[in-house]
Structure 1
Amino acid sequence: MRKIVFVFLLIILKNGHSFAQTKVSGKVIHADTGEPVPFVNIMIRELAKGTVSNSQGEFNFLLPKDAKAGQELIFSHIGFEQSSVLIKDLSGKPIQIVLKPDEYEMDQALVLSFKSKEILKRMQENLTLTQYTEPHEIDIFYRELIWGNDTIQGLTRASGYVHSEGFHPKHSQKSQVSGNDFHFVGFDHIQKTDYGIINKRGGTVRKNIAAQKFPLLIFRLWDFNLSWFDYELLGGKNIGDRSVFVVAVTAKNDGLGRKASRWGYGLYELLQSSVFYVDQEDYGVHWIELRNDKLNEIQYSKHHGQYYIEKYTTATIKFERLNNGKYVFAYANYDNYYTDLGYDTEPNPKQWEVREYAEMYAMDYQFVNLSDGQLMRKYMAPIYGDVPFRRINYHVETYNGLIFIPGRARYHPEFWEDFEFPTFPQEKEIELQLSLNRPIEMQFADFKNNQLVLLERLRKRNRKSQHYWGRASLQYSPAEY
């Protein structure tokens, strides 16, 4: 296979900011068009460490301290040839990476020999062979952005951890009750600006973080009934040196709706219209694209007095195949679109076209099985159950649907001064825009992961009494804010 001049890597270790390491940055572009290539998987497979380029093909990272000169950085993306570069050939200067397309398509004989529904069935059957099945830890970087009428209204960045109990078939089959989440996330460092939009519909992304739905999106979308969907085999592509089936699924009946309505299964609605990229050899999952189109009709929340229109949600999940054949989580994003038409208590409500976007990068992996005590100290919350069904019991502060991030998260400027994270396009310009009313550093420093600070603001905007949004409706967190 042809090689491409390339460069890159990463993986920011959790304490990577304390080491004198080589910083690598650059941009990945398409060889034919010059356009950026988004979400390129980047990995040192011997170390099981890597990252993903951002939506504009840009990357920045620190080489892990245990990287060796003879090891390779592997760059792979759907429809492109795999590229690699030796660690010893990297420098501290920005690099431009050129990826050449490899539009592999399956021949007709292969297409006829595989039924698209059978491919997804084999994917489900082979999860225990292809997914990492032992408990492990993932260092993550999280970013959230909220737009209102095409203008950025808020930014959150967070560094933390994800615990996975490892794949087990019964994870998605067990009866869902509160707190029954076997993969959980916590944050220990957060930067958060003021938010220009606060309403009952807002905070969907934060809600998914706080309610542990982001880990569910990554690890537990597997228990779907094959009869719920119509299938189409779109063809085949290469992801680096792996050949994959590209299978589109579309919900054909209300079975999906019934599943999504059950407690703990809400994200199944994203399977309404999906595309799976499944390995042709071992049936492991490389990539999933998800979408759910809403009714797009005016709705009214009687309890909260708000009018709104739900439009659609999308998500992307990426996995990386390691040298041992196991697949590990690499990247996920979640996009939610809705129209806020205001509250019935507002004489002249402003209409907001809202987009909420969140993304989560895997920055490092530790393939260790921490004890209950170690997990409790790391996530600062009680741990219940036995492997592989341990769960965390976060009591996240929630206020009338507006939910904040779990964990013992605070703003520590000395941490962020040296912490290297994947950038968002025009992130500096976004910060400048958000600092027009109040300096961005002041917003970060004033951040409190506590909704009590928002009570008066919420009541004033919506002309509600203390009884309507009272302290009795608040669930307190054991974390120290």
Structure 2
Amino acid sequence: MINATSDEPVSFVNIIITDLGKGTVSNLEGEFNFRLPSNAQDHMEVVFSHIGFHSVHLRVADLRNSPLQIRLIAGEYDLDQAIVFDFKPKKIMERAQDNLEKTQYGQPHEIDVFYRELIWANETIQGMTRAAGYLHSEGYHEKHSRKPMSSGDDYNFMFITDIQKTEYGVLTSMTGRPRGAVGDLLFPLLAYRLWNFNINWFDYELLGGEIIGDREVFVLSIKAKNNNVKNQAARWGYGLYGLLEDAIFYIDQEDYGIHIMELHQKFPAKRVINEKIGQFYSKKECEAIVKFRRDPAGKYFFTYGNYQMTYTDFGYQTENNPHPREIKEYAELYALNYSMEVLDTEQLSEKYQAPVAGVYPDRFIYYHPDRYNGWIFIAGKARYQSGFWRDFDYPAFPGERQLEESLSQEKKLEEQFAEFRNNQFYLLPILRKRHGLNENFWNRTGLQQHPAKF
């Protein structure tokens, strides 16, 4: 991927076969390696897109002629030249909220997803996880994100089927928060829940305009001007609202649909202790990006999300000489394929391996009780299949090969992956013994009973 003006590489270009909803992303050097799906046909369209550049449209047949160089033409323009209106920037966000039911897809659908997690300590990679599964959406309805006393949008849920996970060189009470919540909390909430906020809680600034694909968008900055966002985030189930403290929205100039959300939250420099387990830590910041794509009818679908948290781990009070570590956790979720099929409740229950309750459009899943312990990776029933990953096409992470080589220096990666357990409660006795804790901590018997029996 080359900038046509400067001849510099363009990183993180989205590449997608539109008919199949499958794709990849270029790495830091602008390079990509796209293994074509078996059902890709030569006439199908392939779109290369990146914020600030005009999209390039090719055919699958063109990708068969490698190596291939794509030259992207800058499409960014000045605010004064491009946007003229007689209302304040705040109005853009109001219109985006008002138009959600008109722009978001409103019928149930299924998405094949790919999940990846990486953890660093003191800038050294500690572990990596890959997972594949399904994301169900009941379709957007206003009450799904504005239902009173709701702890989140329960009407979109996820299930992981295949997992490949290395050993992790760092374990704390916070390790793997994205992983612990991947089933029903973090990513479904990032994609479908953050619409419901009070317009008056923020200050607004119009940063300019961009071109995303062939669409002109507003780039709108919002910043919290009081503690209402913090108070909302402090409520049980609303923690991700804190990411709205400092955010940028890319909003379509024509229909006010939301293309991208860039979210950021900083924490005060404060050393605290987790009283239950005796770990000292200090949160630094959280960040996230969520992307949506438009179908030919103009409706928006979730296509990508990531989440990053950084904190300082000061160790446990049971350690004599704990060594502080700077922890960085990164997780991302790709939408690889879409199916507009409408599954009935029985079919959903079978596919997501858990009881499904309610009536459309308010169906929700009863997750396995193990989910309520932060160490379980999946919600439902996972199956580790080593052979699955040999033929599964997943987007490459920039520098992923180097990361794998780093992890393999002390122990072969195949052996690390072989150590994976479907149920991560095998970690609990290790942690109890390491930190001198009794059976009351991370105790499986304390979990609530639940209809899910897996």
For each residue in 1:138-164, what CA deviation from the matched residue of structure 2 results, as whole angstroms up to 9, or x when unmatched?
001110000011011110000111001
If the length of structure 2 is used for normalisation, what is the TM-score?
Answer: 0.93
Aligned to 2:137: 164
Q: Which residue of 2 aligns with 1:262?
A: 235
Alpha-carbon distance between aligned partners in 2 of 1:459 and 1:73, rounded to the nearest angstrom: 52
* 1:188 pairs with one of 158, 161, 169: 161
Aligned to 2:426: 453
Percent of residue pairs bearing the same amino acid type: 50
The match for 1:248 among 193, 216, 221 is 221
Matches of 1:379 and 1:405, distance apart in 2: 11
Aligned to 2:181: 208
Paired with 1:393 and 1:372, the residues of 2 have a C-alpha distance of 12
Q: Which of 95, 108, 116 does residue 135 from structure 1 map onto?
A: 108
Are the aligned partners of 2:152 and 2:193 in contact in 1 as well (CA < 8 Å)? no
2:260 paired with 1:287: yes
Shifted more, 293-302 versus 437-446: the winner is: 437-446
Question: Is 2:23 aligned against 1:51?
Answer: yes
Partner of 1:148: 121
Matching residue's letter, 1:422 = P
Give the distance between the partners of 1:384 and 1:61, measured in 2 at CA.
39
**CA distance in structure 2 between the aligned counterparts of 1:476 and 1:38, rounded to whole angstroms:** 47
Q: Which residue of 2 aligns with 1:69?
A: 42
Query: In the superposition, relative to structure 1, how do residues 122 and 361 fare at CA in structure 2: closer, same or farther (>3 Å)?
Result: same
Query: In the alignment, is residue 365 of structure 1 matched against residue 338 of structure 2?
Result: yes
In the alignment, residue 188 of structure 2 is paired with which amino acid? P
- Write out per-residue CA displacement over residues 363-386 of structure 1, whole angstroms, 9 at most, x where no aligned residue: 000011111111111110000111
Listed one character per residue, the Cα deviations across residues 328-362 of structure 1 (whole Å, up to 9, x for unaligned) are 11111000000000111111112110000001111
Which stretch shows the higher mean deviation, 354-363 or 170-179? 170-179
CA contact (8 A) 1:249 1:275 kept: yes
Look up the match of 2:354.
381
Distance 2:66 2:252 in 1: 35
Q: Distance in 2 between matches of 1:181 and 1:297?
A: 33
2:385 pairs, out of 399, 408, 412, with 412
Cα distance in 2, alignment partners of residues 227 and 138 from structure 1: 34
2:387 is paired with a residue of what secondary structure? Answer: helix
CA contact (8 A) 2:376 2:423 kept: no
**Matches of 2:67 and 2:357 in 1, distance apart?**
47
- 1:3 is aligned to none
Instruction: For 1:58 and 1:387, locate their aligned partners in 2 and report how far apart those are by CA, in whole Å.
Output: 44
Q: Work out whether residues 89 and 220 of structure 2, in 8 Å CA contact, stay in contact via their aligned partners in 1.
A: yes
Q: Separation in 2 of the partners of 1:54 and 1:331?
A: 15
1:409, distance to aligned residue in structure 2 (A):
1.9
Give the unaligned 5+ runs of structure 2.
Answer: none
Cα distance in 2 between the residues matched to 1:359 and 1:197: 20
Q: Is the 8 A contact 1:42 1:73 kept in 2?
A: yes
User: Would the alpha carbon gap of residues 429 and 374 (structure 1) be closer, same or farther in structure 2, given more than 3 Å must change?
Assistant: same
TM superposition shift of 1:253: 0.9
Q: Is the 8 A contact 1:123 1:284 kept in 2?
A: yes
Q: In the alignment, which residue of structure 1 is the partner of 2:207?
A: 234
Q: Distance in 1 between matches of 2:11 and 2:82?
A: 32
> Partner residue of 1:302?
275
Contact 1:276 1:289 in 2 (8 A): yes
CA separation in 2, counterparts of 1:257 and 1:225? 13
Output the TM-score relative to the length of structure 1.
0.88
Taking the aligned partners of 1:467 and 1:252, their CA distance within structure 2 comes to 42
* Contact 1:136–1:166 under 8 Å retained in 2: yes
Asked whether the equivalents of residues 24 and 34 of structure 2 are also in contact (C-alpha less than 8 Å), the reply is no
Deviation at 1:202, TM superposition (A): 1.7
Q: Distance in 2 between matches of 1:390 and 1:332?
A: 23
Residue 177 of structure 1 deviates from its aligned partner by 5.5
Structure 1 SS opposite 2:69: strand
CA shift for structure 1 position 103: 1.7
- Report runs of 4+ in structure 1 exceeding 6 Å deviation: none
What are the superposed Cα offsets for residues 190-221 of structure 1, whole Å, 9 maximum, x if unpaired?
A: 00011111111222211331442211101111
Q: Kindly indicate whether the alpha-carbon contact (under 8 Å) linking 2:105 and 2:139 is maintained by their aligned counterparts in 1.
A: yes
Specify the alignment match of 1:15 in structure 2. none
Determine if contact 1:398/1:474 at 8 Å carries over to the other structure: no
TM-superposed CA distance for 1:397, in Å, is: 2.2
Displacement of 1:76: 2.0
8 Å Cα contact 2:27/2:399 also seen in 1: no
* 8 Å CA contact retained: 1:41, 1:50: no
Asked if the contact 1:201–1:340 (Cα under 8 Å) also holds between the matched residues in 2, the reply is no
| Alpha-carbon distance change, 324 to 179 in structure 1, aligned in 2, over 3 angstroms | closer
| Pair 35,461 (structure 1): closer, same or farther in 2 beyond 3 Å | farther
Q: Structure 2 counterpart of 1:291, which letter?
A: H
1:393 is aligned to 366
Compared with structure 1, are the counterparts of its residues 385 and 180 closer, same or farther at alpha carbon in structure 2 (3 Å cutoff)?
farther
Aligned with 1:402: secondary structure?
A: coil
Structure 1 residues 451, 202: CA separation in 2 closer, same or farther (over 3 Å shift)? same
Q: Which amino acid aligns with 2:227?
A: D
User: Are the aligned partners of 1:48 and 1:322 in contact in 2 as well (CA < 8 Å)?
Assistant: no
- Cross-structure match for 1:220: 193
Q: How many residues of Structure 1 are paired with residues of Structure 2 in the alignment?
A: 452
1:421-442 alpha-carbon deviations (Å, 9 max, x no partner): 1111222222222223332112
> How many Å apart are 1:178 and its aligned residue?
6.9
1:176–1:263 CA contact under 8 A, matched in 2: no
Farther-moved stretch of structure 1 (218-227 vs 450-459): 450-459
